[in-house]
Structure 1
Amino acid sequence: MLKKRNIYIAIFIVSLIGLAVIQYQYLRIGLNLAKLQFNTKLGKVSNDIAQGLEAANQLTFLIRSAVKEDTTYFTSSIDSVQDASRYFLNDYIIEKLVNNGIETDFTYTLHSKDSSFYLQSPKRFEVNDKIESYPIELIGYLPKELEKKVILELKFKNLNNFFLSKLNGLTLPSILFILGICIAIIWVLKTYYWQRNVITTTNEFINNLTHELKTPVFSIGLATKILEESALNEQKPILGMIRQQVKRLTVHIDKVLELGNLESSNNVLKLDKIDFRPYLLKLCEEFSKLMEIEEVKFSYDLQQGGIMLNAEVFHLENSINNILDNAKKYSVQPIIKLKGYSLNNQFFIEITDNGIGVSEEDKKKIFLKYYRVNDKEVQSVKGYGLGLSYVKKVIEKHKGKVIMESEKGKGTKISLILPLCNE
């Protein structure tokens, strides 16, 4: 159990790491695509800015006057002219960036190619900020007026944060989905192991209870045997019936005990190659005698010749007895038939009855442990919902399968299909 849990946890961790690595790779690809898209847009911005500043206009004339410190055509001081040119140029760049879908912080400097400083944007970045620069060489009016090559250098900080903001449609859902998967898997594992603990506790309780029941059952059987020695002839059939029922009760107690062992995956079934026909014939004969006493119609038809199976007789007999017992309990005037035959290297045991039947919805759950059909006719019969669960587990341990055919109010047919041994 601990080994399985460790395997599940290891698979979960490896899967989670793998998913995180894949998401990281997708994120890197997304960032690269965002950067490529940004560079493409910025190339368009650079062309727009260069073309806008190429001709003589109010903005380029204002910049030229600020750089040359020429106030001939202005009544303001040179400082005011320079401040005005900074803000107007800043607004012009913002307009071009926004028009091309770029909305992030930037600064700029206007300088010559020999690094002579002309203008700087009103906003400044901190010295420690991670900055990326994109120079734009201006043409036309300004280089001619200044008689130098003029560079407008745009600077952006923390572009990765900007790219990530553009990828929020991918990154945020990815993180949420990973968290959702983690929560779901942790909840499933926690629920699974909680249920396993509940099952273990329940099995321990059932085992303790059934062990306690064995003592009074043994005492009743012993007392019946003693009474038979001195009983009158007319009393012996009644005592025989008591012994028969004590035997059946012992079988049921053993069945509950073994069901717990089957669920805990203990190797309680030792399959041996046997001819099952004599055992099945004896089971049918004993059940037939019991049904005669209870005035129940029971018939059986077994194929001639051997029935070679890899089987554990005790549990296989208990399973068949359980189905026969259900056929009797859930019928008003029972008519029960058992048929055993071989077909396609498989042995079929078909048990049919004329009982109350099972609905389509209940057939899906009838083999679950502790499940009982919610019907007045069924609830009137005492039971714990263990029998068919036990039957299914035993047949599956024999590498067989159980098929139920039933219709409400028209009876039930249960087929146990077991693989035959190759001679």
Structure 2
Amino acid sequence: MFVLLLGKNLIMTVKKINILIAVALISLLGVVAMQVYWVQNAILLKEEQFNRSVGIAMKTVLNRILELNTDNTLRQIAMNQPCLDEKTDVTDVIPQKLLDSLIRMEFKCLKVTKGFEYAIYNKVNNRFALGNYAVYKDEIISSEYQQSVEALFKPGSYYFSIYFPQKKSGVLMQLIGWMLLSALFLLAVVMSFWLTIRTVYLQKKWSEMKTDFINNMTHEFKTPISTIAVASEMLLNEEIQQDSQRTRKYAAVILSENNRLKNQVEQVLQSAILEKGSLKIRFKETDMHRLIHQTIDNFQFRMHDTRGLILSELKASEFVIPADRHHIANVLANLIDNAIKYSSGPPRIKISTTTLKNSIVIDIDDAGIGISKEDQKHIFKNLYRVHTGDLHDVKGFGIGLFYVQKIIEMHGGQVELDSEPGKGSTFRLILPLKSKQEVENEHENDGIH
């Protein structure tokens, strides 16, 4: 009943999480859209401001020229007589240096000192009279910044035009500070959103793993408890009490199932102790070859039932290491147990040892179903189980490989995995032949000598 309620609560929690993620994502997209809209509007506003400022500056330049030009005779010539040498007549009215000086003075107020070309040209025949127009002639003629100079020349014939090749980049540079600040805040929002979603997702996965663990723990505990209950009821039967052989049989069943239950509880407790980092390792000289043989012997009865086979090829030249015999035996038992569980047919397991530099290498090969690359990333995490379909098709709590890795690391070693779906797995244990303390003592003695 508890498991069903937990599962129902998990489904409700998952739905709430999905709704929360959807709302947060929509909100984030809204913030991004508003930021983009704000930046676009800021650019347009800045461009309009720039356009107005350029128009005012151009009119100011022409007004200054008009004020400085007091020769009415030259003005009449320019207004009423056809120009034989167009450029000469215009320069008589508007000196090149004066025009250039006035333009640069006005544009200096706009903080635009370079990056533009200008000209006074005849709009009838597109002939240029004067100006700075080395590259962008066509662009000057079609520029949006044009002012008629009809006060100085025949109305409609001459125009003062300016072109800014880098107008867009110039406007953006003026907004670069605000844009960078906006991008920084937006990045902070996106990162916060990503971290929040990642945390929620991890919590969701952890919740699912805990539910899976509780389901499997309930299933694992239920079997020995039920067996003990049945055996106890049988012992209460007066007829069986009078049969000493049957009494011993049911008592043995109770003892066996009690030990099984005890081992399962110990696994769960060891997992909690390992997570806290409070597990004590008691190092003693341990014959690894002897320990491997003893572990294999413990599985022979089970292998007989499954028609499986365990082979050993122990070739390590040095195999006595400082280790906690109890925990290393559990590590070997866990790996062999997994090899049996995850075999699609009769288990075929091979255990081999070699010596590599200052370490003993123990390989445990199986011809089981293998492990996918994705599962290999998480397989040593606490409570993680490789799913093979039905929840209870493979028994276990998902703490075996977590325990294996932690124990080997506490011995100063490492665990390696080579596996491919459908082709089996190889777990490699690399354990140092000497403890860290022994190595440090040897270095100290070498220093003394």
Structure 2-normalised TM-score? 0.47
Structure 1-normalised TM-score? 0.50
